[in-house]
Each structure stands twice: as C-alpha cells, then as structure tokens.
Structure 1
C-alpha cells in the first residue's frame, strides 16, 4: 500500500484506540497544590454507579441549567441570540433618528424615536391595519408592515421589537459572560489609519514602540492579557469598544459597541459556546456507553431544577 494509504490506516487505528470505552476519562476541577495546578482523573469504567450519576448530572447541568450567573451552554446560546437581536433593534432606531451611518449621504430628516413610535401606533390602530396586523401577532410580524426603504440588515426585526426599541424597553445588555480573556483571544488586526494612530516613540531610544505595547499601556492591561495580531482579529476600534464595554441598557451602549457585538463578537462567542456544548455532549455519550456496558441505570435529571 502507498504512503497515503498507510497514513489513512494509521489515522483510523488511532481513532479506534481513542474511541475505546476503556480510555474514557473523567477529569475533575483543577486545584492548586503547592503552587501548581493539578487535576484528578478517573477512568469512567472504574467509576462507581454513584460517580457515574454525579458526572451525568454535572454534564446535563452544564448544558441545560438556567442559573442566571452560570447558565448552561444551550441556555447561553439563546441569551446571546437575543442580545444580537436587541443590538440590531437599537441600531435600527438610531438609523431612524439619523444617528447611525451618518457618513452615508442621506436626505432623510431626523426622526425622533418618540415621534416615530407615535406615527407607527397611529398607523397600526387604523381599522384596516388592525385587521391585517393583529396586535397578538406583533412578535411575529416584520417591520415591512410599517416601514419601507430601510437597510437589509434590519429586515428581520419585528413590530414588537421595534416598539420595545422606541420605548427604551430592550433592557440591559449583560456583559458578564463576555470575559476579558475571550476578548483578548479574538486578537487585533489594524487598519492603516489605526497603524498611524498607534505610532508612539520611546522617550529614551526614539524608536517606534510595538503597537501592542502601546495598547497595553493605554488600557492598562496586565502581562497575561496581551492580545495577538491576527488576520481574523478585531480592528483596534472594535477591540477598544469591547474593552470599554459594561453591563448597560442597550440605549446606553455606543454605536461602535453595538456594531462590533452584532457583527462579530457575539457570533464568535456563539461559536465558542457551541464548541463547549459539543464537549459536554461527547461526555454524556461516553457516560451512557459506560453505563450500558456496566448495566448501570442513570438517574433521570430534572432539567427544570438544574
């Protein structure tokens, strides 16, 4: 057999070994012992029925928990999806007010949100509109019903979402799940203008400083929070907007923050959540395989209580 065929066989053999039920391992939380982090491990085939059920409950909690501080991955995906929608709604209201995309030639007059909302309500309260667009369907009816000639990016906004935006009823953007570590991992890719903006010279040597060092100094980042330059990274403006992000009402976030969240950051956060979810799903499959092999019944987990 040729080189490629041999490599394929080796890969298949390695996969078979890795998937061997006797190799399934449960890793406990990392603990600091004498200044070093250690992690206990136990082979699932060596686990007691009580341990297997404990591991199973933990996996299910990590996927389905609705705890506000530590939501399960599935619930967190829904939270982030809702955040994307609300960022988009607030941007739409700012577009109506001529506060978003002002650099694009625009002949529309400024349209304050309270006045826009009043006009929308007046239209929807007309007998023919009440018949065509029932109030109990506002959460399903897109803004096509009341608005025209708007940018495509807003096409999925509903009437109820529009009203919430105009009433400043979108609530608070919860930043707690977007850790500094996650933002740092996204990296930075400078625009040409940003390269010039970040040019600073060392007072002693007169040499240009590394741009990342300049950012570290400006934002007082610690050594363990050093971002990398990545082609897939955020622009410096986006990165700065995320560093300054706080848990605030959507109407209080800057337009730069709303755009960065909607267009990039929240999508990439969802990718990471989905990856973590897949890992817990794999662990559940392994636990079920081991339980079946050992004739152990796994207890039913009441997700509502997790």
Structure 2
C-alpha cells in the first residue's frame, strides 16, 4: 500500500455538532494522536469542534458531503481518510467512497469507534443500522479499486461517559447500577484509544486492511468495577442499584418503533437507543459481543490495576 503521511479527518456537519456531540469528542483525540505521530492532518472546516483554534497546525478545507466533486477536491493528495463523524452522516458514504477512489486515497477508517457492529447478531439491536448500511456502501464503492478500509472497535468510553452521567457508575450519587447479574464482561476503553488505535492502523495499514480491528483498554464486569470503586474510595461506600435486563430489549424495540412512527431524528439521545444499547452490553450470554477480549489486538489489553488508577482520577474525592 505504501507509506501513509497525509490524513484527512472527516467530522459531522456543523448543524449536527450540537445534536451529535460524541463526534467532536472522538475527533479531537484522533487529530491529537495523528499530530503527535507526525502525520499531516486536514479537517473539514465546517466542523467547529475540530476546526476552531484547538489545533493551529491543522489544514482546513471546505467540504460538501453531498457533492462528489467537492469531496474529490478535498481528498486530493490525501493518503487516508478517517471518518470521525456520527453514523447519521453515513448516508453520504457512497459519495465519500466514490470520491476517495477517484482521488487516489489509499485507506479509509470507518465511523465505528464503539461496539462490535460486525457481530453476527448486532442487527437485532437496530441501533447499528446506519453504520452497517455505511459499511455495505463503502465495500461496494471501493471494491477492486485498491482503496482499503478498517473498522476500529473500542467498546464504550468509560472516562468520557462517567463524568457525563451516562455510564453505569455515577460518582455524584456514588451509585453503581448493576444490570442483571453484574457478571457480564465488557470490553471498554479510555476515549483516547481512538487516537492510539488510528495511529496503529495507519502506521501499518496492510496489517489491518479490509477488516474490523479490535482495541480495548480493559475487560471487566460491573461487579469487579464495584470492588475497585470501594477500594479507591474507602471508607466511603457506594450504593448499588439492581436493574433487570430481561425486558430492556422488548421495551426498547417498542419505543424505537414508536420513534420511527414519529420520525424522530435524534436517535442517539432517545430512550430507545439507550435501552437497546444497554441490553446489547449486558445481555448475559454475550450475544452481541460486548466482551470481545478474544479479538483484541495483541498487547493492548491492560490489567485491572491500571483501571484502578484510571478510575481514581475520575471519581476522586472533592
């Protein structure tokens, strides 16, 4: 494939930045890591979360996602594209793929950076449909073109989610929510893994070509998390909220269908999305691959002593 030096990071459309906040949070550590690794980075200037003064040494270009000529012009001279946008922007994937092929791009990193959308049962959860559709469009659009792709799977970002009150550990109320037995292993990561993994992939693209690549910092159960939290915050204890998982799928699917009937656009922040996503993580048989420890790239998984250190920084006493 040859050396990759010039990388374009695509983010969400500016009108969607406020709605889909996670995209900007993913984009920043990716850009930071690429710069530290001496890649030349370009971002689309319509993305305020990436193109403001946060990075003064990043090139910026204007991109119209709905225009192949605009995308092709932006992609000229780029060796790789990183899709750091929300999956709803993936409706433009066919145009992005076409422009990438015509511009001579070598490699595309897809907009995954989350759960295992390649799991054989993932489509049951409904929430991954945009990403799966984008993946099909990408593979169709780059077939026999010489453009390769990689999907980076990381699991949930605990250090990003806990302070925002959207994880199963809430330091404000000192409560741990245990879904089901609490014994389901979950592969999870610090959010900066998106940058570390992107650099790893683009440094050796042939090793990661045309496949999902699994990266995670930890593999842990909620019960193990509870024990760690008790240790690092002694003598202050934590409350435990027990929540069954059996009804989450049926209830979440019903709400999803109701949202579809109402033409709800902001799926990510809907109750249905949260219920289906939670079920996918804590379903006791690991049906949806929340525990992908057997697939993680060699040398990436850390032991729980490191997790203890990470959690100490997040839930430390005021």
TM-score by length of 1: 0.24
Q: Does 1 or 2 have the higher relative contact order (CA < 8 Å, sep 6+)?
A: 1
Greater per-residue strand proportion:
2
TM-score by length of 2: 0.23
Greater per-residue helix proportion:
1
Q: Computing the radius of gyration over CA atoms, which structure comes out larger, 1 or 2?
A: 1
